[in-house]
Amino acid sequence: MTTAVFPLFVAIPLGTAFLIPVVARRRKGLADGLANFATLALFAAGLAVMVLGTRGVYAIGGWRPPFGIVWSLDGLGILMLVIVNLVSFAATFFSIRYMEGYTGHAKYYSLFLLMVAGMNGVVITGDLFNLFVFLEIASFASYALVAFGCEHEELEASFKYLVLGSIGSTLVLFGIALIYGTTGYLTMASISEAIRGGGKPLVLVLATTFFFAGFGIKAALVPFHPWLPDAHPSAPAPISAMLSGVLIKALGIYALARVFFNVIGMDRLTSIVLVTVGGLSMTVGVLLAVGQWDLKRLLAYHSISQMGYVVLGVGFGGYLISTGGNAAAASLSILGGIFHLANHSVFKSLLFLCAGFIERATGTRQLKEMGGLFSRMPLTRAATTIAALSIAGVPPFNGFWSKLLIVFAAFQAGYLGLALMTIAVSFVTLISFLKVLRYAFLGSLPDALREVHESPPLMIVPLGLLAVLCIGMGLLLVPAVREVVLDPAVAALVNGGVYARTVLAAFAGE
């Protein structure tokens, strides 16, 4: 496959997003069909690109860098692309029945696909300003989707999210302006080459700070997190799954990792900040989650905590690389971080879809008002249990392996405190999910919930898909599979400078 397929990842969702309101405004079935077809096609294309190992660079309009915009995919980009499109397919499939209670399906799918287009664009682009534009497309669609129900809570959450999100985007734009003013480039590869040549002037430090705060807000890392526990639960369930499952990763973590590792370059101070913030998110998130009684809010706090794991893993790897520490532990730590990112998007979207089921069936999100649902909803219970055990890191589910890798890496590098903290947080996570399972599914069935019944079979399909992935994703660590899926992604971050050289080498002969 040539790199000419890259534009499809943005063109398909963008085209369908505008097609649906035109042709399917009055026909819900057509809107469902089109949206599902688009996300399925994207997922298939992502898998094909990964399996065939299509790498490389696509210059838009034939303008080579640094003059034009280039789009490029490396191991990390491909992994993100597959995750994003997998979760969006599961979410659109789930939406078919779930969104029956809402009006405006055409608008819903339109915004949904715009969000997907934005995320795919962020992942695939190799141009800093282009990244900002896609970042805004995705955030913008998500602001509107959070407010989709148009009730008190939803509007309030959306406004909060919009204000913080816009501040984040503006900070990112300021960072881009500073970088452009210093280097005169917008292509990430050219910037990276220009920066690596010289030292680190003050302007770059300022730009790094802006990027950190901007992407940190999008990723809801701890000092920037207050919008997330409001925004994620307020959205409809498939959107919560998308926001927690992939949006904070594509716009926050991925962009942060790409800019810090491949463009500006990791140094000791940046990586220490990343490790600190990661550790802080991990502990604060989980401690806030334990006391929650609102099911979706509890899940949202766990997203903050699990994002802490990812940032900790990746940041710790960066720390070891930049200080010349144990190289094997560094790759192991980054592998753990990236693998946890992939795992989290699967089990967290599964948890949010299950929570959507439960909310729809019982009409409440309060754990105290539930109970005894195991007899009424056996399939949902099975899926929730699998996802809960995955997020808590119980073997053999996927979350266990990625957390194990991070703990191993910390041990290997001799940072016992970090390893113990990771284990402790994992333990608290387990407690909090035992609470969920206990209050929602065990105990006696309240009289109000006598009539509750399992959701329609069509909605079970995406749950089954994600649950199977939760059980099976540990297999990604089998060496033969790992070489295709995870190792290229790790290599992209470990050898930060290779990205720039690869992109520029593609055009060197012209």
Partner 1 sequence: MIYSLCFVLFVIGLYCALTKKNTVKIVIGLSIMEYGVNLFFVLVGYRRRGGAPIIGKADSLTQFLSQAVDPLPQALVLTSIVIGLGVTALSLSLCIRLYEKYGTFDITEMRRLKG
Our CB check for partner 1 shows the closer of 242 and 289 to be 289
In sequence order, the β-bridge partners of residue 187 are 127
3-state secondary structure 249-300: HHHHHHHHHHHHHHHHCCCHHHHHHHHHHHHHHHHHHHHHHHCCCEHHHHHH
The correct pick among 5, 30, 40, 144 for binding partner 1 (CB under 8 A) is 144
Q: Which of 105, 258, 296, 297 binds partner 1 (CB under 8 A)?
A: 297
User: Tokens in use for 408?
Assistant: 């191993």
Is 166 a residue that touches partner 1 (CB under 8 A)? Answer: yes
| Interacting residue with partner 1 among 26, 152, 450, 453 (CB under 8 A) | 152
* 498 counts as binding partner 1 under rule CB under 8 A: no
Using CB under 8 A, which of 102, 129, 408, 411 touches partner 1?
Answer: 129
Alpha helices in 99-224 (DSSP H): 105-124, 128-146, 152-183, 188-197, 202-219
List the one residue from 88, 95, 142, 158 that touches partner 1 (CB under 8 A): 158
Determine the Cα angle at 290 with ends 237 and 344, to 5°: 50
Q: The tokens of 53 are what?
A: 């190992």
CB closer to partner 1, 156 vs 267: 156
Q: Is 359 in the site for partner 1 (CB under 8 A)?
A: no
DSSP string, 124-135: HB-BHHHHHHHH
**Looking at 32, 74, 136, 193, which residue binds partner 1 (CB under 8 A)?**
136
Stretch that binds partner 1, among 11-19, 157-165, 311-319, 381-389 (CB under 8 A): 157-165
Query: What is the three-state SS of 286-354?
Result: HHHHHCCCEHHHHHHHHHHHHHHHHHHHHHHHHHHHHCCCCHHHHHHHHHHHHHHHHHHHHHHHHHHHH
Indicate which single residue of 177, 416, 448, 458 sits in contact with partner 1 (rule: CB under 8 A).
Answer: 177
Q: Whole-angstrom Cα distance, residue 321 to residue 324?
A: 5
Min separation Cβ 297 and partner 1, Å:
6
148 in contact with partner 1 (CB under 8 A): no
Closest contact distance (angstroms) between CB of 395 and partner 1 is 32
Piece of 180-188, 269-277, 435-443, 482-490 that binds partner 1 (CB under 8 A): 180-188
The residue among 159 and 408 lying less far from partner 1, judged by its C-beta, is 159
What is Dmax (Cα atoms) for the chain?
74
Q: For the CB of residue 217, give the shortest distance to partner 1 in the complex, in Å.
A: 12
Residue 127 lies near partner 1 (rule: CB under 8 A): no
Under the criterion CB under 8 A, does residue 18 sit at the interface with partner 1? no
CB 50 within 8 A of CB 485: yes
**Rounded CA gap, 374 and 371, in Å?**
8
CA–CA distances in Å: residue 415 to residues 124, 238, 320, 408: 35, 39, 11, 10
Q: Please report whether residue 186 would count as binding partner 1 according to CB under 8 A.
A: yes
Q: Contact with partner 1 (CB under 8 A): which of 108, 140, 254, 339?
A: 140
DSSP assignment, residue 490?
A: H
- Only one of the segments 12-20, 84-92, 226-234, 355-363 lies at the binding site for partner 1 (rule: CB under 8 A); that segment is 226-234
Please, what is the minimum distance in Å from the beta carbon of residue 169 to partner 1? 8
* Dihedral over Cα of 231, 232, 236, 242: its sign: positive
Minimum Å distance from CB 292 to partner 1?
6
Among 30, 40, 47, 173, the residue binding partner 1 under the rule CB under 8 A is 173
Nearest to 463 by CA among 365, 380, 404, 372: 380
* Residue closer to partner 1, measured from CB, 119 or 314: 119
Q: Does 102 bind partner 1 (CB under 8 A)?
A: no
Asked whether position 155 contacts partner 1 by CB under 8 A, the answer is: yes
**Which segment (50-58, 97-105, 160-168, 439-447) binds partner 1 by CB under 8 A?**
160-168
Tell me the residue length of the chain: 510
CA distance 290 to 301: 9
- Taking the least distance from each CB to partner 1, the nearer of 167 and 477 is 167
Report the interface residues with partner 1, using CB under 8 A.
129, 132-133, 136, 140, 143-144, 147, 150-153, 155-160, 162-163, 166-167, 170, 173-174, 177, 180-181, 186, 229-230, 234, 292, 294, 297
